Structure 1
Amino acid sequence: MSTLIIIPTYNERENVASIVGRVRASTPDVFVLVVDDSSPDGTGEIADALAAADDHVRVLHRAGKEGLGAAYREGMQWALAAGYDRIVEMDADGSHRPEELHRLLEAVETADVVLGSRWVPGGGVENWPASRRLLSRGGSAYSRLALGVPVKDATGGYRAFTARALERIRFTDVASQGYCFQIDMLRRAYDEGLRIVEVPITFVEREHGASKMTTGIVVEAMLRVTGWGIMGLPRRFRRRPEPTAPIEEPVEL
C-alpha cells in the first residue's frame, strides 16, 4: 500500500532537511509531503530543494500561517486526491522519531487509526519538565473523561490513518486548530466505530527552533472538549451500539 507522511512546517529551516532525511532513510518506500505555511525563514525553499533531489518528496505551499489543523486538512485532501492508502501525521521538529514509524505502519495494516502513544507501556518522553508531563497526561485524562474515548494518549500528533478512515471521519469538517485538532479527529473516529490502536513511542523534545505550544492552544482545547462532552452526554447515557471494530489494548511490538 502507498503511504504518505504529512509534515506541516512553519519556520523549521533547522529541522526540515533532517526530518525528511530520517524518514526516507528509515522507511524508503514512503512518500513525504511537506506542507509549508509560507515560512519567512526559508523553510519552503529548503523543502523545494529536497523535492527536486528526491522523487519521493513533495511540497505544498500555503498562503500563510493558518494553524496545524488547517495544514493537516489540506495535506489530507491532497493525499486522498492523489490516491494514497495510508496517511501519517508527523511533526517537523524531530519529536516524532522516524525510526519508530514502522510501528505505526505495521499496526495500521489491521487498524483504521493508529496513535503513537507516550503513555502506554513502552512509551515515554525525553527532556520534558514535570509541568509538560502533567499538562499532557492531564489533557488526555480530561478528554477521556469528558468524551468517553478510552485511550491513554488523546493529544499526541504522531498518527496513522487509512484513507477509508479519513473519509468516514469527514475530516474536512474539523474546525479545530492546534492540538485540539488531534482530539477532534480522535473523537470522530471513535464515534464512527473505527478500529483504533495505540503503539508505544518515545517523544523527544525539539533541539532547534521554538515550540508552537501556546496558552491559547491549551484554552481552545479545554473549551472545545468541554463543549463536546456536554453535547455528547445524552448519547453516552443511552445504550451505545458496539463499534464495528472496538478499541484495542496497546499493541506491543
Structure 2
Amino acid sequence: MSAADPTPVDGLGRVVVVIPTYNEAENLAWIVGRLRAAQPSIDVLVVDDGSPDGTGDIADELAAADPAVQVVHRTSKDGLGAAYLHGFRVALDAGYDVIGEMDADGSHQPEQLDRLLAALRDGADLVIGSRWVPGGAVVNWPLRRELLSRGGNLYVRLLLGVRVRDATAGYRLFRRTTLEKIDLETVQSTGYVFQTDMVARTLAAGLAVREVPIEFVERVRGDSKMSGSVATESLRRITAWGVRERTQRVRTALRRQR
C-alpha cells in the first residue's frame, strides 16, 4: 500500500479508514462508495479474510477503479481484532497520520464521519463514534440486543474502570501517534474484545479519548457476525483480562508501600 500522494485532510494530514471484511459481497461496494462520496480526501483499506462469497474480488475491482482504495488479502479468518491489527500495520508502514475503523455492513454511516474528524482536530488521540452518549442512537435493534450492549459496556466500566460509555464500539479514528504509543506488537486480543482492549490501552497511556454521538443502523443485508456466543466469549475474556489487570495493580501498589 502506498500513501505517497494522498490528499491531506484539513488539519489532520493523511487519513485512511480500514474496513475488515468477511462475506460482505452484498455491502462492500455500497459502503465504500458512500465513504468516498462523503469524504473524497480519505483513503480506504479493505482487509479481507479470504471471504468465500467473492468479497475479495469485489474489493480488487474497487481498487482497480479508484487509486484511493487498496486491498489486503488474508488467507485465514482469525477474528476482527487480527484483521484490524494487520490493517493498522499496513497503514502505519504507508505513512498515514490518522487511521480509522469502520464496519462494512453500513451500520457505521460514512456521512457522520465528519463528527469524528472534528473531535480529532480538537485534540483527541482516539475518537469513538458512540451509541450510548447523549445524542447517540441505534436503529432497528431488538431490545435484547440493546440491553446486551449497554450491560456489556457497564460491566467494562465497572471492571476496568474506564470512563467510556461505548468501549465496544467499532467506529473510530486513531492518531498514528496513539497507535505507536500503545505498542501494537503487544496487543494479543483478536476477537471483538479487541475494541475494549484498545480503549483501555489508550487511556492507560495517558492519552485523550473522546466519544461523539452517532446513529448506529443495524445491517439490512448479509448476516451479522455478532451472536450470543460471540458476546459471551467477549465478556469472558474481558473478565479474565480485567481480573488480571486489577491483580497486577494491587501487587504494584503493595510493592510501592514496602
Q: TM (normalized to structure 2)?
A: 0.89
Instruction: Give the CA deviation at 1:74.
Output: 0.3
- 2:79/2:192 contact within 8 Å kept: no
Report SS of the residue matched to 1:108.
helix
What is the distance in 1 between the residues matched to 2:14 and 2:164?
Answer: 27
| Percentage of identical aligned residues | 58
Number of corresponding residues: 239
What is the distance in 2 between the residues matched to 1:176 and 1:72?
Answer: 11
- 2:138/2:215 contact within 8 Å kept: yes
- 1:119/1:153 contact within 8 Å kept: yes
Q: Does 1:85 align with 2:97?
A: yes
What is the distance in 2 between the residues matched to 1:19 and 1:182?
Answer: 21
Specify the alignment match of 1:218 in structure 2: 231
Q: Does 1:71 align with 2:57?
A: no
Question: Structure 2: any 5+ residue segments left out of the alignment?
Answer: 1-12, 254-258
Specify the alignment match of 1:232 in structure 2: 245
What is the distance in 2 between the residues matched to 1:197 and 1:58?
Answer: 28
- 2:130/2:169 contact within 8 Å kept: yes
Which AA in structure 2 matches 1:203?
Answer: F
Instruction: Give the CA deviation at 1:89.
Output: 0.4
Specify the alignment match of 1:31 in structure 2: 43
4+ residue segments displaced more than 4 Å: none
Q: Does 1:184 align with 2:201?
A: no
- 1:180/1:217 contact within 8 Å kept: no
Instruction: Give the CA deviation at 1:224.
Output: 2.0
Instruction: Give the CA deviation at 1:180.
Output: 0.5
What is the distance in 1 between the residues matched to 2:168 and 2:211?
Answer: 12
Cα deviations across residues 197-225 of structure 1 (Å, max 9, x unaligned)?
Answer: 00000100001000001334223221222
Q: How does 1:34-183 map to 2 (within 5 A)?
A: 34-109=46-121, 110-183=123-196
- 1:94/1:206 contact within 8 Å kept: yes
Instruction: Give the CA deviation at 1:132.
Output: 0.4
Q: TM (normalized to structure 1)?
A: 0.91
Instruction: Give the CA deviation at 1:190.
Output: 1.0
Specify the alignment match of 1:250 in structure 2: none
Report SS of the residue matched to 2:20.
strand
